[in-house]
Amino acid sequence: MTLSSLGINYVYVVCAALFVLGLKMLSSPATARRGNLVSALGMLIAIVATLLAQGLDYRWIMIGMLIGGLIGTAGAYFVKMTAMPEMVALFNGSGGLASLLLSWSEYHHSPAMAPFIALVTALSVFIGGVAFTGSMVAYGKLAGKISQQAVVFKGQHLVNGAIVLTAAGAAALFYLKPDSLFGYLFFVVMILVALVFGVTSTIPVGGADIPVVISLLNSYTGLAACAAGFVVSNNILIVAGALVGASGIILTRLMCKAMNRSLFNIFFSGFGTTTAGAGSTSGVQGEIKAASAEDVYYILEAADSVAFVPGYGMAVAQAQHVVKELGDLLEANGTEIVYAIHPVAGRMPGHMNVLLAEANVPYDQLVEMEDINPRMETMDVCVVIGANDVVNPAAVNDAKSPIYGMPIIETYRAKTVIVLKRSMHAGFAGIENALFYGENTRMYFGDAKTSLQAVVAEFKSGN
């Protein structure tokens, strides 16, 4: 069975509508799960329709889909929530590599290309190659396989500039005569240069900037797929690639805004090279006041308003369910409860929203940073659950701090702050946090889940 070329475009319009609808639904926690399914359905229809329209021998394709599907399913089931960004980086890299290979194989099919096709082929292999190795570096940094610190060396900008010029030169020479031996040579040079550039442009980024880079690389992968869509004349690949490219750029901009950094600053400042190591406490003065489960119970029991501020440690401890349980107990006690969400808390965009949704926290109790900060002084208690960088006051009052200017949830302005963490170790950015020494701060040391279970037990026993 084959679909006519007119028929398939009608199917593609439906698929494109499903993608757009799915993306729209992803923008709210209440509809995000269904949005994912809607987009996945669009992609399934697009794949089946494309295969039917081509009238191909499906055997090899089926084997590829089966192997890829099994790897994807196993990954989705077994990967830890905290390792999700690494998985996203790996998937992203695979997308870039797929575009590169697709355009490369098309070139072998018909090297005598029209100028426009030569142009989009060059774009697809270059951007795909950069997205592939860039994502592998981002994966290595997130997974701790390579140093998370920014790697900078003298003359780095010159080296990167020379690489880009080489790529542009090779692309121009390929474009002029794609079907000659020289054309092929320059094509291969372009691929090699793209792979190197992916590494050299990503290694100078470190510390807290990695999420932004992953989002940008995601956008590159979309653009590479879009260009590959032109190479193989497939309309839905063009649309899907453009949507991924555009949404990746939008997310990148939002994240830059959330961290108050420009993209230029992220790629060229070498942030992360000079920050203090984990556990460093130099420079911050004050006394640490430790609290027990019983102390925390008394503070919370007397509070009229409580803001939970979750961070990466909540994900590590898998404390979201017990946080919700404590929230319910407080509500039953007549306390106003909100969950204050920082846009880059955790290790991926929306990380905290996903975890709290899993624990059935009502969406109307989630408040964004912009909404909680103006009323912070009126909050009786802020319970910081494994968050560190996103509540670090250095971002507001220490102009020398590497995170200076990054918007934070200003818990230090609340009447009382309870911080749940295991030690005095630093967070992702590797810098110390004066909040822990604040007059109004109580440190409740221990694994967040175990600590909160103890507080819940205090509540249940009515102490």
Residues acting as catalytic residues: 389
388: part of which helix (H) or strand (E)?
none
Q: Nearer to ligand NDP by C-beta: 124 or 275?
A: 275
Residue-level length of the chain:
463
Q: Nearer to ligand NDP by C-beta: 297 or 436?
A: 436
Q: Nearer to ligand NDP by C-beta: 128 or 206?
A: 206
Q: Nearer to ligand NDP by C-beta: 38 or 251?
A: 251
Rounded least distance, CB 402 to ligand NDP, Å: 10
Among 397, 423, 457, 463, contact with ligand NDP (rule: CB under 6 A):
423
Q: Nearer to ligand NDP by C-beta: 8 or 208?
A: 208
Q: Nearer to ligand NDP by C-beta: 93 or 129?
A: 93
Radius of gyration of the chain from its Cα atoms, rounded to whole angstroms: 25
Give the burial class of 426: count Cβ atoms within 10 A of its Cβ; 0-12 exposed, 13-18 middle, 19 or more buried.
buried
CB 401 within 8 A of CB 395: yes
Stretch that binds ligand NDP, among 208-216, 267-275, 288-296, 332-340 (CB under 6 A): 208-216
Positions in 56-85 near ligand NDP (CB under 6 A)? 85
CA 265 to CA 99: how far, in whole Å? 29
CB 208 within 8 A of CB 143: no
Q: How many CB atoms lie within 10 A of CB 199?
A: 16
Question: Whose CA is closest to 392, among 356, 353, 342?
Answer: 342
Among 120, 300, 316, 379, contact with ligand NDP (rule: CB under 6 A):
316
> Diameter of the chain by CA atoms?
83
Stretch that binds ligand NDP, among 38-46, 71-79, 98-106, 305-313 (CB under 6 A): 305-313
Positions in 329-348 near ligand NDP (CB under 6 A)? 344-348
CA 42 to CA 14: how far, in whole Å? 8
The tokens 């190659």 sit on which residue?
Answer: 129
Question: Whose CA is closest to 455, among 327, 335, 337, 314?
Answer: 327
Among 295, 336, 380, 447, contact with ligand NDP (rule: CB under 6 A):
447
The tokens 């009052």 sit on which residue?
Answer: 397
Positions in 347-376 near ligand NDP (CB under 6 A)? 347-349, 351
How many residues of this chain bind ligand NDP (CB under 6 A)? Answer: 31
Q: Give residue number: closest CB to ligand NDP.
A: 427
Among 178, 183, 272, 386, contact with ligand NDP (rule: CB under 6 A):
386
Question: Whose CA is closest to 191, among 61, 103, 296?
Answer: 103
Stretch that binds ligand NDP, among 179-187, 235-243, 370-378, 422-430 (CB under 6 A): 422-430
368: helix, strand or coil: strand
Phi, psi of 367 (to 5 degrees): -125, 145
Residue 311 interacts with ligand NDP (CB under 6 A)? Answer: yes
Q: Footprint of ligand NDP on this chain (CB under 6 A)?
A: 85, 208, 210-211, 311-313, 316-317, 344-349, 351, 386-390, 420-423, 425, 427-429, 447-448
